[in-house]
A and B are shown apart, each in its own frame.
Chain A
Amino acid sequence: MTSTETTQSPNGAGDNESRRAVIIRTVALKKEYLIGQVVTYALRGIDVELYRGEFICVMGPSGSGKSTFFNMVGGLDAPTSGRVFIDEVDVAQLSAVELAFLRCRKIGYIFQTYNLVQYMTCLENVTVPMAFAGVSGDRAQQRGMELLELVGLAERWFHKPIEMSGGQQQRTAIARSMANQPSVLLCDEPTGNLDLKTGSEIHDCLMKLNKQRGVTIICATHDHRLINMADRIMWIRDGQIERLADRSEVTVETGTIEGEENA
């Protein structure tokens, strides 16, 4: 925030060159679900560029297509039409193994339901993606411990998920998502199952990763407090981008934010 050159930057902060590098780009992204004879338009054509290192908050009422957008962008599902480029790689062109490679190293996922493997300890959970990337043994353990330290769970490495609180589980999941140093973290309502205070802990944790490690974070949420932390905010409604704005352009009020209805 100290640099004077950043005044024209829509993000309003950071190194112009690195900030403007596009990490995720979608072109006319559409997704339709066909249930019986009824077609549901989950996404109706989304064109967006997300930059490396930014913290993007995706908001929108329930059923607006946030999760669908995440699935497309994370390479978890194929769009009906349109394209998704991750790091300038066209996801549609990838084979199953290449997709696995992508998910393993480029993207980290954080789920509302944590999705830790129940029979593994905290540390084991964190090292699973490393195993898929070919890192194992002492190196994996060491890296896993470093990540746990980062999320403040180092002394609980031997705990099983059921022995931990929701917040702790989510922090473990965050550590796991960072296992292979991905460029993007996709968080679909990471605090949806948590109380306010614990939610803030998770927000801080994500913020820390964004600032310290420069990882791009795309976070879907209904939590207004997160808007204060984001670089940009994206509103989705009925499968379309309603608004995409820098934080500086958004006025945050307690209770409601413009462009958001109470869901």
Chain B
Amino acid sequence: MQMKVIDVDKQVRLSLTKTLQLVLSGVRFRLFRAAITVVIVALAVAFLMTMLSDSIITRNVAAAIDIETAPRRLLGFWVNQLTSTMTVQKLTEDLTALPPDSNRWKELKGWGQIEDNDAMGRLVDVAQREQMYAAFFDNLKEGDRRALVGRAVGLDIFDVLVDDEAFQTFQKELPSVGQLFPGEGIDAFRDFLTAWASARPAMDAIIAGHSTAAGQARKTLLKGRPADVFFADEADESLPGKLATFGFILPNDDVVVLHRRATLRRDAERIAGTFAAPLLKQSVAKRAGLEKANEATVDTFFKQTSSRRGVKWFLAELDNIRRRFDELPEDADKRQDLTQEQKLILASRDPLTIFAAFEISPERITEVTQERLRDKHLQNVEKRITVTPEGTGLGGFSSRTLALIAVSFLVCIVGIANAMLMSVTERFREIATMKCLGATDGFIMVNFILESCMQGVAGGVIGAIVGMLLGCGRSVVMYGWMAMAQTPFSELAATALISFVLGLFIAAMAAVYPAWVAARLAPMEAMRIE
């Protein structure tokens, strides 16, 4: 008998809209089960998003703090330059961090009276190797180090090892320490020691040059003043020139920054100086609602003067106290029969008189106070930034955080797959019936994956939003106003999108196996009667 064939080209593939319609009506019917998947995806995505947005904001806050605290660091650097002495340790650190031809490079070259750049390059090279070897010795156990180099610590170790006999002991003992020696073996270390020994004179010259320069600068420029006051007072174009005569290179742009910062610091000190007056301290404590006067700190004081009203109060208080000075007897200092209160007034006279000599305007008081509070805030925030993520997004996480995220997603996949498998078991009759009615395996498969994707979309959106809110909330709690001021919203949005897509992806992934199980279900299951 002749056999007929079926013309399958006529078999229709369901349009996406029709499939979506079918899936949607199914999802609506099983809302509770769908909600489970949605919640699982939302949790995983929210977790990821919280971490991501937190890290992004933290990184931005760190960057912002870096910019904001630059003047403070600049002033600190210059105060240090002019007042402290240089050591070999500090010099080698400087040398390793130096880009060639930077100001610092030129300064060091000048002080060491090193003529050619190659010599400087060699110094930098020696310094770099020195850091590497020093790290090795620093990480040794005390006993091991003793065995290798005796009592020497730090850079002295290299000075000791230059000696042949000491080096032989070192070489003999090294294997017993059992630590991997850095660099290219013991010969390379020997070469370094030679280079180190020959570099020492140049280093010493630089150190000597710097201390002479700093010494002379102190004598002629500072004339006994603290360095920061010097920068507050001398804010003219001649400053770089004056410093240059001693080998310091100060860029013109920095003069303004240094001046502003130094003035601020000086004025803050003057204002805070009034706090030494016991009477003022008492009123500050009273205004701040503290019970005892000595609970009040300088910070309490500055909090009081941060607003315009606070400044008014402060000035009025000063007048008030001053009036009480005037009521004191002429020879109050010499008299022995003063009351307790009179003694307090007397003790408060000097600080307030000193302050009065500077004639600081109320506006300036507000400005200084606010800058100071801001500084304090920055310092607090800086302390709270425990980790400074370097990269963007996922790249900035520690491996532990990454593992946590991976585990959360794994749990999520397992959870969804389980929920879907249960759903397949529950719906076996429906699936089998659909197959009897002409559904292909592909349709069933797509049906389940689409269902999971829909739940993934919902979970992803919810998770991304919740996660972002949580991350931002955490940052606001941690860093205050800085968090929101520095938030890169476009980056956050991009990250939210990534998290969302990831959520959708895992939802789809998790559905593959259950969908496959469903697609394989035999249509005759529809006939089964339980």
Residues of A within 8 A of B (CB): 67, 70-71, 74, 76-77, 87-90, 93-98, 100-105, 109, 111-113, 115, 117-120, 124, 128-129, 131-134, 136, 176, 179-180, 188, 192
Contact = CB atoms under 8 A, between A and B. Distances in A.
Contacts of A67: 527
B96 interface: no
A71 B439 contact: no
Contacts of B432: 115
Given A77-B524, A131-B14, A136-B18, A103 B2 contact: no
Nearest to B17: A136
B436 A103 contact: yes
B438 A129 contact: yes
Given A89-B4, A128-B437, A176-B437, A103 B11 contact: no
A113 B12 contact: no
A134 B440 contact: no
Contact of A117 (B3, B433, B443): B433
Interface in B1-34: 1-6, 8, 10-12, 14-15, 18, 22, 25-26, 28-30
B360 interface: no
A192 B529 CA distance: 11
Contact of A104 (B15, B437, B526): B437
B135 interface: no
B3 A119 contact: no
Contact of A103 (B10, B18, B437, B522): B437
A90 B527 CA distance: 22
Contact of A76 (B2, B29, B524): B524
B498 interface: no
A115 B437 CA distance: 11
B259 interface: no
A188 B523 CA distance: 14
B18 A131 contact: yes
Interface in B410-430: 429-430
B33 to A, nearest CB: 12
Contacts of A71: 524, 527
A129 B4 contact: no
A115 B433 contact: yes
A228 to B, nearest CB: 26
A18 B61 CA distance: 86
Q: Output the residue of B30, B430, B440 with the most chain A CB within 10 A.
A: B440
B94 interface: no
B526 A100 contact: no
Among all A-B residue pairs, the 3 with the closest Cβ atoms? A104-B438, A134-B12, A119-B29
A77 B522 contact: yes
Interface of B: 1-6, 8, 10-12, 14-15, 18, 22, 25-26, 28-30, 429-430, 432-441, 443, 522-524, 526-527, 529
A124 B429 CA distance: 17
Nearest to A137: B18
Given A113-B429, A113-B529, A100 B440 contact: yes
A88 to B, nearest CB: 5
Contacts of B435: 100, 103
A134 B10 CA distance: 9
Contacts of B4: 87-89
Contacts of B28: 119
Q: Output the residue of A89, A93, A111 with the most chain B CB within 10 A.
A: A111
A154 B463 CA distance: 46
A76 B12 contact: no
Contact of B5 (A76, A89, A97, A120): A89
A112 B529 contact: yes
Contacts of A113: 429, 529
B12 A117 contact: no
A53 to B, nearest CB: 19
B3 A88 contact: yes
Contacts of B15: 136
7 contacts: A101-B6, A103-B438, A105-B438, A115-B526, A119-B26, A128-B434, A136-B15
A120 B25 contact: yes
B1 A88 contact: yes
Contacts of A192: 529
A15 B394 CA distance: 78
B11 A109 contact: no
Nearest to A106: B6
A97 B438 CA distance: 9
A87 B524 CA distance: 21
B440 A96 contact: yes
A104 B11 contact: yes
Nearest to A76: B524
Contact of B527 (A111, A117, A119, A124): A111
Contacts of B441: 96, 100
B6 A132 contact: no
A23 to B, nearest CB: 12
A37 B2 CA distance: 40
Q: Output the residue of A94, A96, A112, A115 with the most chain B CB within 10 A.
A: A115
Contact of A115 (B8, B429, B439): B429
Given A112-B529, A119-B30, 11 more contacts: A76-B527, A98-B8, A100-B441, A101-B11, A112-B527, A115-B436, A117-B433, A128-B437, A131-B14, A131-B18, A132-B437
Nearest to B19: A131
A148 B410 CA distance: 49
A129 B434 CA distance: 8
B522 A76 contact: yes
A252 B248 CA distance: 123
A111 B529 CA distance: 9
A107 to B, nearest CB: 8
Contacts of A94: 6
A174 to B, nearest CB: 13
B522 to A, nearest CB: 6
A133 B435 CA distance: 13
A101 B439 CA distance: 8
Contacts of A133: 12, 438
A117 B22 CA distance: 11
Contacts of B18: 131, 136
A89 B3 contact: yes
Contacts of B30: 119
B440 A97 contact: yes
B23 to A, nearest CB: 11
B527 A132 contact: no
Contacts of A179: 437
Given A87-B4, A136-B18, A100 B527 contact: no
Given A115-B429, A115-B433, A129-B438, A97 B527 contact: no
